[in-house]
Chains A and B, each alone.
Chain A
């Protein structure tokens, strides 16, 4: 197992390297000059060139990349001229809101998707199945931002039950944290659950027709025990894959939802960085996102072995 993990971590190095080179080239090849953005309309060319020099933008591209990757390997992701702070500090400051949102949304998604998917599979063609079809169609076809705006209009503006936007860290009170996080998490959770519920249903249906289910039934096991202990466990590999993938996407930053609910997360930070051509932040974020994806996939792979002992990691 340890060798497997080490191998996966080693495999991360070329992935991150290739990704960083590609992103570095893309962001430097697109037009747009951070010095010009910073200085605004009235700046003359000499002032702009002076700032470019101070920002290290006048070095050849290869040298700029070499400097950056050299520092990154030592744990230094560079410094943002716009934020006037190290990129690693900026990422850590914006990570907590994004992580909170991702976890909360994931919990909501799982709480909706698993019971709904299981009921739909067990009572195929019944009301739960029809409800799942309608729900997943709605969840997949209605964009998350539209759902968010609807929730804001109903629960914040009209009913005034919840705030329109903002973020309160969990350490400042769980109640306040929940109050601010509920609508954004629900908006994402509904969209995520619609896809997950369909996967739950499909996986369950596949396993429900296997022989061991009939054996368990003939042995007199209760339906719930068969469904939740045996069938769901055997059906969980594709479900874990979907959950892992969506969680990875969320940790990389749900920029639109974060903007609508004004959550100071990684998604918002990345959008601002691209607007300003804040190269150091974009590079640092891409590196971070790559690591998150690999880490989440690794965690999912390890979970495969936990839920299904037949899987041996070699």
Chain B
């Protein structure tokens, strides 16, 4: 009898649990809301919350803007620091801390006139000595700045004027100053002078939020900067006015994708990146808007020093065989999240987008590829793909599709998979790999195209270097376009890489979050408001 009562009790408890679970509110993501449009007419009048929680997917390795190479770092840095210029949504440089800039006729001297009365977060006024110290450090620390401005200096002209004297014209100077990675942030001279080898120790900028606390690998707190002086103009990309309507921004590190997503469902966060698996749970839900933001620029990089791919005909064979749509589909799993693009620049980039040489893009002609392999005398040597399953596994997925396409035309292949740190080290060694397929941060000017550089995939071609230099030293818009087209045309002939396409990431945003702008996945939180 006792046993029967015990059994009955257990069954009742289990039934009750299942009942509670089954009858529970299933509308975690269905909070009714009128609109998620930032411009909602009544949004401005509604009372807002004073705090915004923001989940970061990757650990913040540094808050030093000059050293930061993206990821979660930039989410924080871009809201604390500012540069002389900032990109708008068309990737055009727009003045931020600069009032105006004069460029000499020969294109070798840039004179920056600074906005006056701008205060750092330590209440000190920004002056030319701070700008010069910051930008001279930036050009020493940031590899792309070192390449472009290594021999030049930012000099103080007067209290509110700084000059850059170049040895050769550099037409992308303002774009380099606007780029979000290795960000050319302005900070007080004292912060620059006291910087340790691993980075600055005081995070003092001029941005709309000031640094409060950083608990390493846990969270970063910033608060509204009361003395922030906004530029005029509508917010666009990272340019334009910034008028934060919250008091505190709490960035939490939440590395696990499902934890981030579940926390969004419970309302802890108002914004989250959404994987394809999770999309059905938030798609078409009232109160939630799904948007997509540019994520990566996918390329197949050839090791030009490898025995197989030092031969141009073998590179042409690979390029001829590629079906980029299949590769992109295998990478992001849906046509909604990729875009075919033959240019090395994004379509939004009004100054540098070019379709020159695009007849070599997405050829998908295995028979012709086989002929090219015969012509090159490929002897069946195994080619090694270098990849990683880190970063969400997308590099690995893309690599497998390329591998399958190349095996069909007769290449013997092997995939070497490592963790990200090991992969970086292996990639620097020209003797251990042949092909690397991966996503790059979307570049904004040709001088940022890493794979035209001898250190990345080991491109070593005098004509390519000459055309690259010509594209950045041209002075008029017409000359720049001509030089840029010539560069891209030749790039498709030389094949340092084979361009695959651009990918996007889905984000879910609750309609209580107003005024957010996502630029290539990085948030401009300068105008956000969180409705109660």
Which residues from 185 to 205 on chain A have a C-beta closer than 8 Å to any C-beta of chain B? none
A93, B215: Cβ atoms closer than 8 Å = yes
How far is B252's CA from A166's CA once the two chains are assembled, in angstroms? Answer: 9
Closest to B216 in A: A83
**Smallest CB gap from B420: residue in A:** A275
Q: Which of B18-26, B229-237, B334-342, B405-413 contacts A (4 or more CB under 8 A)?
A: B18-26
Q: In angstroms, how far is the closest chain B Cβ from the Cβ of A106? A: 24
Q: Interface residue tally of chain A, by bracket?
A: 35 or more
- Closest B residue to A262 by beta carbon equals B254
Residue from A30, A31, A90 with most neighbouring chain B CB atoms (10 Å)? A31
By a CB distance below 8 angstroms, the chain B residues around A159 are: 20-21, 24
- In the bound complex, residues from chain A placing their C-beta under 8 Å from that of B197 are 51, 54
A33–B266 Cα distance when bound, in Å, is: 39
Contacts A40-B69, A262-B256, A269-B217 given; does A157 touch B421 at CB 8 Å: no
Partner of B61, one of A36, A82, A163, A262: A82
A165 contact set on B, CB distance < 8 A:
254, 256, 259, 262-263
Residue of B nearest to A275 (CB): B421
Query: How far in angstroms is the closest Cβ of chain A from B429?
Result: 9
Whether B46 sits at the interface, judged by CB under 8 Å, is: no
Q: How far is the CA of A96 from the CA of B322 in the complex (A)?
A: 53
In the bound complex, how far is the Cα of B28 from the Cα of A158, in angstroms? 7
Residues of B near A286 (CB, < 8 A) are none
Q: Give the residues from 1 to 25 in chain B that come closer than 8 angstroms, CB to CB, to chain A.
A: 3, 6-7, 10, 20-21, 24-25
Return chain B residues, CB-CB under 8 Å to A149. Answer: 258
Q: Give the docked Cα–Cα distance between A32 and B440 (Å).
A: 20
CB pair A160 B28 closer than 8 Å: yes
Q: Is residue A234 contacting chain B, with contact meaning CB distance below 8 A? A: no
A163 to B266, CA, bound (A): 8
Contact with B along A63-90 (1 / 0, CB 8 A): 0000000000000000001111100001
Contact partner, A32, options B3, B7, B21, B421, Cβ 8 Å: B421
Residue B182 at the A interface, CB < 8 A?
A: yes
Q: Let me know if B252 and A54 touch, CB within 8 A.
A: no
A31-B418 contact in complex given A160-B266, A165-B254, C-beta closer than 8 Å: yes
Binds B, one of A41-49, A211-219, A296-304: A41-49
Interface status of A259 (Cβ within 8 A of chain B): yes
Residues of A close to B420: CB separation below 8 A: 37, 275
Q: Is B456 an interface residue (CB 8 A)?
A: yes
A84 touches B216 (CB 8 A): yes
A32 touches B419 (CB 8 A): yes
CB distance from A159 to the nearest CB of B (A): 5
User: Within the complex, what minimum Cβ distance (angstroms) separates B453 from chain A?
Assistant: 8
Q: Mark A259-303, 1 if CB is under 8 A from B, else 0.
A: 111101000110010011100000000000000000000000000
Q: Output the least CB separation between A254 and chain B (Å).
A: 14
Minimum CB–CB distance for B275 against chain A, Å: 15
Whether A152 sits at the interface, judged by CB under 8 Å, is: yes
Q: Give Cα A240 to B143, complex, Å.
A: 57
Contact string against B for A residues 114-135, beta-carbon threshold 8 Å, 1 for contact and 0 otherwise: 0000000000001100010000
* A157–B69 touching, CB < 8 Å: no
* B425 adjacent to A36 (CB under 8 Å): yes
Question: How many contacting A-B pairs (Cβ < 8 A)?
Answer: 146
CA distance A164 to B254 in the complex (A): 11
Distance to closest chain A CB from B158 (angstroms):
33
Closest Cβ of chain B to A210, distance in Å, is 27
| A259 close to B418 (CB less than 8 A) | no
- CA A39 – CA B198 in complex, angstroms? 10
A154 at interface, CB cutoff 8 A: yes
B3–A131 contact, CB under 8 A?
Answer: no
Query: In this assembly, does B426 line the interface, its C-beta being within 8 Å of a C-beta of chain A?
Result: yes
When distances are taken between beta carbons in the complex, the residues of chain B under 8 Å from A160 are 25, 28, 266
Q: In the complex the two chains form, is A157's CB within 8 Å of B70's CB?
A: no
Would you call B266 and A156 a contact (CB within 8 A)? yes
Residues of chain A within 8 A (CB-CB) of B258 are: 149, 152, 260
Q: Known: A260-B256, A262-B256. Contact between A127 and B6, CB under 8 A?
A: yes
A127-B254 Cα distance, complex, nearest whole Å: 43
Does B104 have its Cβ within 8 Å of any Cβ on chain A? no
Would A41 and B450 be within 8 Å (CB), given that A36-B425, A160-B266, A275-B420 are in contact? Answer: yes
- What residue of chain A has the Cβ atom nearest to residue B429's Cβ? A31
Cβ of A273 to closest chain B Cβ, rounded Å: 9
Q: A38 at interface (Cβ–Cβ under 8 A)?
A: yes
Q: Which of B215, B256, B425 contacts A33 (CB 8 A)?
A: B425
CA–CA, A47 and B204, complex, Å: 25
Say yes or no: B455 contacts A45, CB within 8 Å.
yes
Cβ contact within 8 Å between B21 and A44: no
Set of chain A residues within 8 Å of B59, measured between Cβ atoms: 272, 276
- B311 contacts partner chain A, Cβ-Cβ < 8 Å: no
Q: Does B39 contact A (CB under 8 A)?
A: no
Given contacts A30-B422, A32-B424, A42-B69, contact A157 B256 (CB under 8 A): no
CB interface residues, A 13-43, toward B, < 8 Å: 30-34, 36-43
Q: Give the docked Cα–Cα distance between A264 and B59 (Å).
A: 12
Contact across chains for B20 and A262 when beta carbons are under 8 A apart:
no
Q: Please indicate the chain A residues that have their CB under 8 angstroms from the CB of B425 in the complex.
A: 31-33, 36
A41 x B266 contact (CB < 8 A) = no
Q: Which has the most chain B C-beta neighbours within 10 Å: A38, A43, A81, A259?
A: A43
Does B468 reach chain A (CB closer than 8 Å)?
no
State the CA gap A305–B426 with chains docked (Å): 54
A92 smallest CB distance to B (angstroms): 12
Contact mask for chain B residues 462-506; partner A; CB cutoff 8 A; 1 contact, 0 none: 000000000000000000000000000000000000000000000
Q: How far is the CA of A166 from the CA of B441 in the complex (A)?
A: 31
Expressed in whole angstroms, the minimum distance between the Cβ of B200 and any Cβ of chain A is 10
Which one of B10, B252, B265, B421 lies within 8 Å of A37 (CB-CB)? B421
Would you call B143 and A42 a contact (CB within 8 A)? Answer: yes
Which residue, of B25, B182, B258, B426, has the highest number of chain A Cβ atoms within 10 A? B258
Asked if B199 is an interface residue, CB under 8 A from chain A, the answer is: yes
Please tell me if the beta carbons of B25 and A84 are within 8 angstroms of each other in the complex: no
Instruction: Give B249-269 as 1s and 0s: 1 = Cβ < 8 Å from A's Cβ atoms.
Output: 000111110110011011010
Q: Which residues from B are CB-within-8-Å of A37?
A: 61, 420-421, 424
User: Quick one: which of B3, B10, B268 contacts A164, CB cutoff 8 A?
Assistant: B268
Smallest CB gap from A264: residue in B:
B218
Q: How far is the CB of A278 from chain B (nearest CB, A)?
A: 10
CB–CB A264/B424 < 8 A: no
User: Does A164 contact B262, Cβ atoms closer than 8 Å?
Assistant: yes
User: Which of A54, A93, A94 is close to B198, meaning CB atoms less than 8 Å apart?
Assistant: A54
| Distance of A309 Cα from B399 Cα, bound (Å) | 64
Is B279 among interface residues, defined by CB-CB distance under 8 A?
A: no
Q: How many angstroms from the CA of A275 to the CA of B266 in the assembled complex?
A: 30
Could you write out 23 A-B pairs with CB less than 8 Å apart? A30-B422, A32-B419, A34-B421, A36-B425, A37-B421, A39-B69, A41-B69, A41-B456, A42-B144, A42-B450, A44-B146, A44-B455, A85-B216, A152-B259, A157-B28, A157-B265, A160-B28, A165-B262, A165-B263, A262-B253, A269-B217, A272-B59, A275-B420
Known: A33-B421, A40-B181. 14 other contacts (CB 8 A): A32-B419, A40-B70, A42-B448, A42-B456, A47-B146, A131-B10, A153-B262, A156-B266, A158-B25, A160-B28, A164-B262, A272-B59, A275-B421, A276-B421
Residue numbers of A with Cβ under 8 A of B are 30-34, 36-45, 47, 51, 54-55, 81-85, 90, 93-94, 126-127, 131, 149, 152-154, 156-160, 163-166, 259-262, 264, 268-269, 272, 275-277
Interface residues of B (CB under 8 A from A): 3, 6-7, 10, 20-21, 24-26, 28, 59, 61-62, 67, 69-70, 143-144, 146-147, 181-182, 196-199, 201, 215-218, 252-256, 258-259, 262-263, 265-266, 268, 390, 418-422, 424-426, 428, 440-441, 448, 450, 453, 455-456
